[in-house]
Amino acid sequence: MADTSTTNRQGWVEGLDRLTKDREGHDVTIEVLDRSFGDQREVERLPFAYTAYDLKDDVVVVAVGGRSSSHPVVLRHMVPHPREVDIDLDAGAFRAVEQDGTTTIVTFFPPSRG
């Protein structure tokens, strides 16, 4: 997984913006791998809203929901001060690693029907 360099922060901006455009209407799963708390799924196949890297605040944001009556609230997962971000545009996935090693894995799926 590495369409975008793990250290090129401007590449993170461009890659995550492209994922937002390319994966509009998809569902997303967010998994957090944490040494202290264990591995957990934070979101499982909810409607994707957007993802972005904010250079000023040094944070990766993944947002879900907020676009329908069945998911009216936008939920945001934030990865503060990432040291690595790997983006796979073809597969529709990315990984962001925090300074302490906590890793967030975001995977996209075709939208569920029903």
pLDDT digits (tens, 9 = 90+) for 35-47: 888 899 999 999 9
CATH class of residue range 9-109:
mainly beta
pLDDT digits (tens, 9 = 90+) for 47-72: 999 999 999 999 999 999 977 777 77
Identify the residue with better confidence: 82 or 3.
82
At 35 the pLDDT is 85
The token duo for 40 is 């957990």
- What does pTM read for this prediction? 0.88
Residues contacting residue 100 through CB under 8 Å, at least 6 positions apart: 35
**Whole-angstrom distance, CA of residue 42 vs CA of residue 71:** 15
Q: Where are the domains of the chain?
A: 9-109
Looking up tokens 């907020």 gives 66
At 8 the pLDDT is 87
